[in-house]
Amino acid sequence: MSDTEQRYPLTVFMLVKTQPEWLGFDIDTRFRLLAEHVEPILKQHRDQVRLRFCDIEFYNARVTDLWQWDARSHHAYELVVEALRETPFWDRYFAIVEILPGVENAYASNYGRPPLAA
């Protein structure tokens, strides 16, 4: 099991789509709103949850972004989601299209085998 798997056993892929209201903001406003609403949540939970953003609108029409959450526990992830739901980022600026939780390399660790690596 890798160091990342031990520290963040839960990975959640949140597929989201930007909404017209978000796209109507200029870039400075978007970054101000991120700093105002999302950054405090990330700071509050930084020891338990981390977030990575991937832009995918170049390759997909159904969703525009993928938010990858790595969490030390289900509860830690749940606390972040509860906090996000209290912001305009949840289903106002972004539509939450699908949430896909997973455990990295569970197929191998469940059988006591090393994971495939490239």
DSSP string, 9-24: -EEEEEEEEE-HHHHT
pLDDT for residue 6: 62
Residue 17: C-alpha distances to residues 21, 22, 77, 85, 86 (Å):
12, 10, 20, 15, 18
d(CA 63, CA 98): 9
Under the banding of pLDDT at 50, 70 and 90, the label for residue 109 is confident
Q: What is the per-residue pLDDT across 73-105, written as a single tens digit (0 to 9) for each?
A: 999 999 999 999 999 999 999 999 999 999 888
Highest mean pLDDT among 4-8, 61-65, 111-115: 61-65
Q: What is the per-residue pLDDT across 11-70, written as a single tens digit (0 to 9) for each?
A: 999 999 999 999 999 999 999 999 999 999 999 999 999 999 999 999 999 999 999 999
Q: Please tell me the least confidently modeled range out of 4-8, 97-101, 110-114.
A: 4-8
In the chain, domain spans: 3-104
**pLDDT tops 90 at residue 2:** no
**pLDDT tops 90 at residue 5:** no
The domain defined by 3-104 carries CATH number 3.30.70.1030: yes
Tell me the pTM.
0.86
Q: What is the per-residue pLDDT across 64-80, written as a single tens digit (0 to 9) for each?
A: 999 999 999 999 999 99
DSSP string, the chain: --HHHHH--EEEEEEEEE-HHHHTS-HHHHHHHIIIIIHHHHHHTTTTEEEEEEE-TTT-SS-SEEEEEEESSHHHHHHHHHHHHTSTTBTTTEEEEEEEEE-TTHHHHTTT-PPP--
Q: What contacts 97, CB < 8 A, 6 or more positions away? A: 15, 16, 17, 62, 63
